[in-house]
Amino acid sequence: MNAEVQQTRGVAAAAPVGSPGAQPFWLRASRSAGVGYVFIAPALALYLAVIFIPIVSGVGYAFTNWDGLRREVHYIGFANFWRMINDIQVRSSIVTTLLIAGSLVVTKVAAGLALAIAVNGNLKARKHLRVVFFMPVVLTPVI
């Protein structure tokens, strides 16, 4: 069978050995990979400027006594971290934060589970609950 008959029957004909279609996909894609870098460059530059560079500089400043205004920056190592660990207010605020976060997680999971059971349970108001909960989901795209 020739190639045209095979293509009309839905079977792709094998490309000749010297043609570009016979090369592996990774080889063909690597030749045009430079185009991908052009498209990703603006997003990468924005990520570096807004996310990565501030994080790295913040980590670097954590090991100094720089106040943010003066030009002189002195490296003090882990002294800031030791002072923070030994401060009673910092420990108290960490404990308070963990208590609030933990209680909120437990409360939200329990409330969500109770509402899910109410919506899927055998209550008389099940249909009304479904309307109340899913109406914002339906109305948002319409609005």
| pLDDT one-digit tens code per residue, 9-24 | 555 555 555 555 567 7
The helix/strand/coil state of 37 is helix
Which H helix or E strand runs over 120?
helix 88-120
Which H helix or E strand runs over 23?
none
Residue range 49-99, pLDDT digits in tens: 999 999 999 999 999 998 889 889 999 999 999 999 999 999 999 999 999
CA quadruple 127, 130, 136, 137: dihedral sign:
negative
pLDDT beyond 70 at 136: yes
Percent with pLDDT over 70 in the chain:
78
Q: Looking at the whole model, is its pTM more than 0.75?
A: no
Percent with pLDDT over 90 in the chain:
47
